[in-house]
Amino acid sequence: MSRSCVITTEEPNWWLTPPAEASCEVGGTEQEPSAERANGWDRQPVALVRFADSAGLADWVASLLLRDRLLRPQRPLGLATGRTMEPVYAALARQVNGLTPAERQELRRRWCSFNLDAYVGVDRADPRSFAAEMASRLTTPLGLDPERVHLPDGQADDPHAAAECYAAQLAATGGIGLQLLGLGINGHVGFNEPPCEADAPCRCLELSPATRMQNAGAFGGDPEAVPQQAITLGLREILAAERLLLVVTGGAKAEVLARTLREPPTPELPASWIQLHPRALVVADGAAAALLDASCEQGELLA
């Protein structure tokens, strides 16, 4: 029997436990870390927190990001772009507005984030770039120092060297603390396109036709207009984060989410590697979790 997913209604205790002391307590039940192994790696239970409505989900995820910056600023925050994250950043901006001036100042002082990915060949000032997206949704509304919001340099003459440089910059900080992740329709996280091994490093790669189709909306609906290449943190850097937070919304992702959590980890579904992480939390709305609901009870393990 696989133990790939536990449905829970709240943040599990082990999620906040410092790495060296984690006990994998989920839903009030002590679980030994799974002894099941996949490709030589330990496979761990993944907790799924399900929200009936997307607004509640965005608020909750935003509160986790805010708390991470205020309480655990030692390591940088790993951030993602995409439609899933738009309401999350809007909720974060609202929550930051509700802080006292002193708290806001502290947040700005402690802020350090590294984004997962960037298109190659898209100018930072181009509204379709992830840099522009982060500036308008995060840096400006939160009043952050842009120097503290890091993204790969998609405009570099040599994007392969830029990827190496970005990995080195991240490594110099000690690596990601909390890593926010979205899910691609083809199972990618960041821009780690299938097939992708769990130790794939930060690199420049070719985007798949499926991803260019998924992201065509920002390019006038034309997949051919979507850049052919991107720089992405690899599964290596993602899995090295202290904690993973995968956010999935909408019925279009129901099938890939169910496969991500149920199938043994495989290069064909890069997101499935999160099963190897000891502190992975999945947050989904009802539509995205629909295929998991059918076979899960609250607090029960998926078979």
- What residues make contact with ligand GLP under the rule CB under 6 A? 80-84, 116-117, 182-184, 190-191, 211, 215
| Vertex 8 angle, CA 40 and 181, to 5° | 60
Smallest distance, ligand GLP to C-beta of residue 66, A:
20
Answer for the pair 204, 163: CB distance below 8 angstroms, yes or no.
Answer: yes
| Vertex 71 angle, CA 112 and 142, to 5° | 45
Closer to ligand GLP by CB, 143 or 209: give it: 209
Residue of 59, 68, 153, 193 with catalytic role = 193
Closer to ligand GLP by CB, 254 or 301: give it: 254
Residue of 115, 150, 153, 188 with catalytic role = 188
**Residue 173 corresponds to which amino acid?**
T
Closer to ligand GLP by CB, 6 or 237: give it: 237
Return the structure tokens found at 246: 């995968």
Torsion of CA 28, 29, 33, 34, to 10 degrees: -130
d(CA 295, CA 303): 8
Residue 186 appears among annotated catalytic residues? yes
Return the structure tokens found at 97: 């507005």
Beta-strand (E) ranges in 99-174?
113-115, 117-119, 149-150
Residue 117 appears among annotated catalytic residues? yes
Smallest distance, ligand GLP to C-beta of residue 204, A:
14
Smallest distance, ligand GLP to C-beta of residue 61, A:
12
Position of minimal CB gap to ligand GLP? 182
Closer to ligand GLP by CB, 165 or 216: give it: 216
User: Annotated active-site positions, please?
Assistant: 117, 186, 188, 193
